[in-house]
């Protein structure tokens, strides 16, 4: 049974402030770092139960991603590198909010509901981003793990996708799953796709002054001569602050270059976010207009390339792209009408996209904000493998190229580093620059805004967040505004990570998109 004394003693050390109420949101718990100590301790406890329940290693990542440096966050990673199962989010929220005196009761409750055998071993992999608060907070997680008799292996500084990767690999039987094995795997895959540098292969990477900077340096050392990378916004060498005026979220929302970057037309630039699980590219056109190549453009590039390889290999696959309501209308049209690929739209949040992608033999999913990856069905992977030994050499080679391409992608989760390698490999294969890539389709001008409201939960949405059902009348208001704009589209949704309502609008011109967003925003107040 649970060692009450040990748990309670440590729970005192990580006591909960009486007023604190939090819930396990889209990306775990997020908040001001100095209000989270008890949450991290309790997530250590929960990770032990989850590990015993799944009889597998569980990951715990300490990061608040693209949020300000003063924030922090924690999320659990399930055995195959997926996000924590939804039922357990409910336990997480419950456990986070009970008083110290009820922790044992709550833990026992989970043990009973999930039929957990406490004799099982529990091992938890932990890692953290570069926030100053992350060290103490990951210690709180480890205290929680120790309190329930679990074993923790701390990987120290890592990107979020790296922790997903090592967790997944270890549970698949790779006993030496390590940061090093991550670099070796992705660098080798990349090197077999890109044997020599092309002239245009200089990429400047804005690492948001986060953990992506030192990790990308390491990956680069493993890749050697097949690409030129310039690391920008590396807090280890400059004095920039994490995510401040830089990073994928900043570039995507502001539609402008990160701090300190002098851009030249049609050169290649990209940004990671603070924990390196999002990627967006950008450049300038010849008139020095800013051109963003976001998650939608990356998904389109992936789909285009995979489709070509499938055709070359004479392979059939159910290929699909999963997007959210934020996907630019032009990208959806391009995928559906030009590529004739099946497109699905789901609610915001990686877990929803990942889940839907698994309906396809090959599922490409991307949020417009740059988080995404490709999933492959195990049965289809076997079919692909058998095709690589086919007698027709051209087809076998195409199948091999597809196989190698898929292995440069981190299937467990969206990964800025591996997605960047995948983009670079495709551009190399097609002999394309950002100009050709961006010409796949022209984005509809769009605008995102956030609105502070008294209570964002009064807004309820349906149809993958594209429409509101509450408060009544709001959707009618939006509909009649949208009808006044050429190619107008707009939706509102309560944020899952901040106390705001988000507004999205697109239309034929930037002025119209801005104006539609403004008007819809004022409906929400």
* 277 belongs to the binding site for Zn ion (CB under 5 A): yes
Choosing from 275, 367, 411, 443, the residue that interacts with ligand 16G (CB under 6 A) is 367
Mind giving me the DSSP string for 475-522? Answer: HHHHHHHHTTSTT-EEEEEE-SSSSSEEEEEE-SSHHHHHHHHHHHHH
* 275 belongs to the binding site for Zn ion (CB under 5 A): yes
The widest CA-to-CA distance across the chain, in whole angstroms, is 69
| Token reading at 362 | 């090959």
Element (H or E) spanning 269, and its range? strand 268-272
Q: Is 285 annotated as a binding residue?
A: no
Closest CB to Zn ion among residues 210, 488: 210
Among this protein's residues, is 65 annotated catalytic?
yes
* Closest separation in Å from C-beta 110 to ligand 16G: 23
**Cα–Cα distance, 23 to 93 (Å, whole number):** 5
Q: Give the number of other Cβ atoms within 10 Å of residue 351's Cβ.
A: 18
Given the residues 1, 18, 65, 200, the one annotated as active site: 65
Choosing from 198, 495, 514, 515, the residue that interacts with ligand 16G (CB under 6 A) is 495
Closest CB to ligand 16G among residues 28, 445: 28
SS3 at position 70:
coil
Q: How far is CA 520 from the centre of its chain?
A: 28
* 348 belongs to the binding site for ligand 16G (CB under 6 A): yes
Residues 130, 14 contacting (CB under 8 angstroms): no
Closest CB to ligand 16G among residues 325, 426: 325
* Closest separation in Å from C-beta 63 to ligand 16G: 10
Residues 471, 458 contacting (CB under 8 angstroms): yes
> With contacts defined by CB under 6 A, how many residues of the chain interact with ligand 16G?
14
Q: Is 502 annotated as a binding residue?
A: yes
Choosing from 51, 65, 204, 490, the residue that interacts with Zn ion (CB under 5 A) is 65
Residues 446, 513 contacting (CB under 8 angstroms): yes
* 149 belongs to the binding site for ligand 16G (CB under 6 A): no
* 73 belongs to the binding site for ligand 16G (CB under 6 A): no
Closest CB to Zn ion among residues 279, 384: 279
Residues 286, 265 contacting (CB under 8 angstroms): yes
SS3 at position 356:
helix
Q: How far is CA 253 from the centre of its chain?
A: 16
Residues 448, 503 contacting (CB under 8 angstroms): yes
**Cα–Cα distance, 343 to 329 (Å, whole number):** 12
Choose from ligand 16G, Zn ion, none: what does 498 bind? Cβ within 5-8 Å by kind: ligand 16G
> With contacts defined by CB under 5 A, how many residues of the chain interact with Zn ion?
4
* Closest separation in Å from C-beta 161 to Zn ion: 9
Q: Which residues define the annotated binding site for Mg(2+)?
A: 65, 273, 275, 277
Q: Which residues define the annotated binding site?
A: 65, 273, 275, 277, 367-369, 493-497, 502
Catalytic (active-site) positions? 65
Q: Which residues define the annotated binding site for substrate?
A: 367-369, 493-497, 502
Residues near ligand 16G (CB under 6 A): 26-27, 65, 348-350, 367, 369, 371, 495-498, 502
């Amino acid at each position: 049974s649970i060692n009450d004394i040990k748990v309670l003693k440590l729970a005192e050390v990580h006591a909960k402030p009486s007023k604190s109420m939090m819930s396990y949101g889209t990306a775990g718990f997020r908040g001001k770092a100095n209000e989270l100590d008890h949450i991290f301790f309790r997530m250590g406890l929960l990770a032990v139960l989850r590990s015993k329940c799944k009889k597998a290693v569980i990951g715990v990542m300490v990061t608040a991603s693209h949020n300000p440096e003063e924030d922090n966050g924690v999320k659990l990673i399930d055995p195959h590198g997926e996000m924590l199962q939804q039922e357990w989010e409910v336990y997480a929220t419950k456990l986070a909010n009970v008083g110290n005196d009820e922790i044992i009761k709550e833990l026992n409750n989970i043990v009973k509901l999930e039929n957990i055998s406490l004799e099982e071993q529990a091992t938890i992999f932990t890692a953290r981003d570069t926030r100053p608060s992350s060290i103490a907070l990951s210690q709180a997680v480890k205290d929680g793990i120790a309190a329930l008799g679990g074993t923790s292996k701390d990987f120290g500084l890592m990107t979020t996708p790296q922790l997903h990767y090592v967790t997944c690999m270890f549970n698949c039987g790779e006993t030496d799953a390590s940061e090093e094995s991550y670099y070796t795997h992705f660098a080798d895959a990349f090197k077999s796709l890109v044997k020599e540098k092309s002239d245009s292969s200089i990429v400047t990477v804005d690492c948001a002054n986060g953990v992506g900077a030192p990790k990308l340096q390491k990956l680069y050392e493993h890749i050697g001569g097949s690409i030129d990378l310039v690391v920008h916004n590396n807090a280890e060498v400059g004095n920039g602050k994490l995510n401040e005026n830089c990073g994928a979220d900043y570039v995507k929302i502001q539609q402008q270059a990160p701090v300190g970057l002098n851009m030249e037309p049609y050169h290649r630039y990209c940004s990671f976010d603070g924990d390196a699980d999002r990627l967006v590219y950008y450049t300038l056109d010849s008139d020095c207009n800013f051109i963003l190549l976001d998650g939608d453009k990356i998904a389109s590039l992936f789909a285009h390339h995979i489709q070509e390889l499938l055709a070359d290999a004479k392979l059939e696959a159910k290929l699909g792209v999963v997007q959210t309501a934020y996907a630019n209308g032009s990208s959806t049209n391009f995928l559906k009408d030009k590529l004739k690929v099946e497109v699905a739209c789901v609610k915001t949040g990686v877990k929803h996209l990942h889940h839907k992608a698994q309906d396809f033999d090959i599922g490409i999913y991307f949020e417009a904000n740059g988080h995404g990856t490709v999933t492959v069905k195990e049965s289809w992977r076997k079919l692909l493998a058998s095709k690589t030994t086919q007698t027709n050499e051209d087809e076998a080679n195409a199948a091999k190229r597809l196989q190698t391409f898929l292995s440069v992608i981190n299937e467990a989760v969206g990964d800025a580093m591996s997605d960047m390698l995948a983009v670079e490999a495709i551009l190399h294969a097609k002999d394309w620059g950002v100009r050709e890539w961006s010409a796949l389709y022209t984005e509809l001008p769009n605008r995102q805004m956030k609105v502070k409201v008294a209570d964002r939960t009064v807004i309820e949405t349906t149809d993958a967040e594209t429409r509101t059902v509450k408060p009544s009348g709001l959707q009618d208001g939006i509909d009649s505004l949208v009808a006044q704009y050429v190619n107008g589209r707009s939706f509102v949704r309560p944020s899952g990570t901040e106390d705001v309502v988000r507004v999205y609008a697109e239309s034929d011109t930037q002025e119209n998109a801005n104006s539609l967003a403004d008007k819809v925003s004022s409906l929400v107040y």
